[in-house]
Structure 1
Amino acid sequence: MPSVSAVIATFNRAPELRTALSRLLAQTHPVAEILVVDDGSTDGTDAMVRAEFPTVRYVRLPHNAGLIYARNFGFVNTAGDYVLSVDDDSWFAEPDGLARTVTYMETHADVAAAACNIETRDGLVYFPPQADPFDAPWYVGCGHLLRRSAVAAVGLYMPELYRQGEEKDRCLRLIGAGHRVVALPGIMVYHDKSEKGRKPGLERFYNHRNDLIREVARCPAGLLPWRFARSWIGNSWKNLRHGPRLTDLKVLLALPEILRIGLKHRAPVSEDAYRRWLHLSRTAAPGLPQPDPTPSHNPLPRSAGEG
């Protein structure tokens, strides 16, 4: 039986984490190890986990380093054949959800990441549950399963992203390396979408900033000027629709940092792979309107304490 490691990053959500851990431990496919990475909680999360879940590994980071750092930490400090990522406020809706996801991955060796369907407490369901599996441009952080060997080959998340957009960058790299990312509409993960720590203005800034970093890091040279400009314009328009904001000014001031980080990690994928990723971004999901891939649209962006 393939082994599964589960990584949950958390920040000041002890009650929500209690539910997430209880639901995960009730899955029919046994989880070889569960690692909770606490990104500096001050609400008694540590005492709750140690008292109520003695089999769960708990690591408290010395300071708030962000969701992406916490997920990288979890990946390198676990050993399962597959790595499950759920948020501290998300869980499989059915007890065999993990088992069915693992079975799909085991029978499709070219799939590096499985994106589960997501249902939020406000009634949003990402994909029609009856739809067949389909190739997707990215997974959502609060419910996905990764093949360790494939992810290890393409590398960890860019830690400088801090929060949001890391899924799109990794999936672009996986597709560039010849792997598939597949959405499984029939496997539902419920996202309770806790309000604790949510900061919409910060989300907009990091969505915009991190899309630009990704373009610098991954876009083929011949497409980069067009894609960078389109990403900037698309995100600016998206921000404008939310009313007057300072987001664009903050992104403009961050431009030197954006270029520095993007160039530091620059490893563009092939033009064919990039165009395929763009096509999937526009057309992949059945029955749902798809965003332009240029504006950042990560359905559930979060950092530690936000997803």
Structure 2
Amino acid sequence: MTDIKFSLLLTTKNRKEDLLFTLHKIGHLLDRPDVEYIICDDGSTDGTSERLTEDFPGLQLFRHEKSKGLIYSRNRLMERAAGEFAISLDDDLHFLTVNPLEEIDTFFNIHPECAVVSFRIYWNTSAPETIMSNHKTERVKSFAGGAHAWRMSAWKTIPDYPDWFVFYGEEDFAAYQLFKKQKQIYYLPSVPVHHRVDLKERKNKKDYRLRLRRSLRSGWYLYFMFYPWLLIPRRLAYSLWIQLRKRTLKGDGKATVAIFQAMGDVILNIPRLLRNSNRMTRQEFEEFSTLAETKLYWTPEDEK
């Protein structure tokens, strides 16, 4: 029996058609003897598990009868991964190249100090006309949550993702922990992926306020957990002012509610934030700040 090298991990909830599309797009990888595919159905009520069992009997599938949240589910997937490398994909995202695993394997082998690689993401409901890119491989601060690969030996050196964040922030949490361990994260543009999402439409969806609340609070949580003490007041005040200027002063009522809810979440969780802190020294923070920003978006227009 061939040893498993790659664990493809995916969590899903009530997005059966998106998930099936993704699986068909990467179906050629599912037949490889060095690949395992593990899916967490986080409380779907649309028949996702039944359809997967019928159409993809070779997958490893586990289900939460009641939703536990994205980050909790990702932790459980990582616990089950048997591969040397664990690849996390969103259920509405697929590779745009035929041989992404070879690119990932080669890069990790050449760069033993690398713990995570983050892929080049095209965000749009339609596929790009070209995937050619001049983007360069470089060390970055963090990675994309649904489009990255872990070296599992590095994952085992840091705490699990904080599942009480629920949604957003787990990537940066891991990035700070890895930096403290002197392990590195790289942007790997040779692995392009298509995230089939219309970003403009997100603002009009029912969960806009909830997403914004969780996004803001996760960033503020991380201040209290990792930033040097003297930097927190100014950074927090500046971040709050930017949100009020961009959203509240422009009449975005939903966003304003989300901002103050997020701040309330921070206040309520201060004891927990302090218990789980792993604070950087001023020198570490300055070194971290010199790294390139996380690469989350790519379009063909970037190349013009």
Structure-2-length-normalised TM-score: 0.84
Q: 261, 269, 293: which one pairs with 2:280?
A: 269
Structure 2 distance, partners of 1:124, 1:231, is: 34
Give the aligned residue type for 1:153.
T
Alpha-carbon shift at residue 227 of structure 1 (Å): 2.8
**Please, which moves more after superposition, 207-216 or 30-39?**
30-39
Aligned residue-pair number: 286
Between 1:40-49 and 1:246-255, the stretch displaced more is: 246-255
Alignment of 1:183-194 (within 5 A): 183-193=187-197
Please show how residues 101-116 of structure 1 align to structure 2 within 5 Å: 101-116=104-119
1:217-236 pair list within 5 angstroms:
217-236=225-244
Unaligned runs of 5+ in 1: 289-307
Normalised by the length of structure 1, the TM-score is 0.84
Q: 1:205, CA displacement in angstroms?
A: 0.6
Output the CA distance in 1 between the equivalents of 2:154 and 2:281.
Answer: 18
For residues 123 and 269 of structure 1, what CA distance do their matches in structure 2 show? 42
Residue of 171, 175, 182 corresponding to 1:178: 182
**Structure 1 residues 233 and 166 mapped into 2: Cα distance closer, same or farther (>3 Å)?**
farther
List gaps (5 residues or longer) in structure 2.
Answer: 299-304
Mapped to 1, the partners of 2:257 and 2:296 lie a distance apart of: 35
Q: Please give the alpha-carbon distance, in whole angstroms, between the structure 2 residues aligned to 1:48 and 1:5.
A: 21
**Structure 1 residues 124 and 25, CA, compared in 2 at 3 Å: closer, same or farther?**
closer
Letter in 2 for 1:260: P
Percentage of identical aligned residues: 22
Structure with greater proportional helix content: 2
Secondary structure, counterpart of 2:161 in structure 1:
coil
Deviation track 1:7-45 (CA, whole Å, cap 9, x = no partner) reads 100001111111222333313975531110111001110
Relative distance call for 1:7 and 1:233 in structure 2 (3 A) is same
What are the within-5 Å matches in structure 2 for residues 160-171 of structure 1? 160-171=164-175
198-207 vs 25-34, greater mean Cα deviation: 25-34
SS of 2:9 mapped into structure 1: strand
| Distance in 1 of aligned mates of 2:148 and 2:251 | 29
Q: Give runs of aligned pairs for residues 185-224 of structure 1, distance below 5 A.
A: 185-193=189-197, 199-224=207-232
Q: Aligned partner of 2:284: which letter?
A: A
> Do 2:126 and 2:196's aligned partners in 1 also have CA atoms closer than 8 Å?
no
Deviation of the 1:77 alpha carbon: 1.6
Q: What is the aligned partner in structure 2 of residue 147 from structure 1?
A: 151
- Aligned residue in 2 for 1:256: 267
**Match of residue 130, structure 1, among 128, 134, 139:** 134
Greater shift in the superposed pair: 204-213 or 245-254: 245-254
2:28: which partner in 1?
26
RMSD of the alignment, in Å?
2.8
Give, in whole Å, the separation in 2 of the partners of 1:287 and 1:65.
Answer: 28
State the secondary structure of the residue aligned to 2:269.
helix
- Confirm or deny: 8 A CA contact 2:125 2:195 kept in the other structure: no
Q: Is the 8 A contact 2:221 2:266 kept in 1?
A: no
Listed one character per residue, the Cα deviations across residues 134-180 of structure 1 (whole Å, up to 9, x for unaligned) are 11111112210001111110121111110012111211221221111
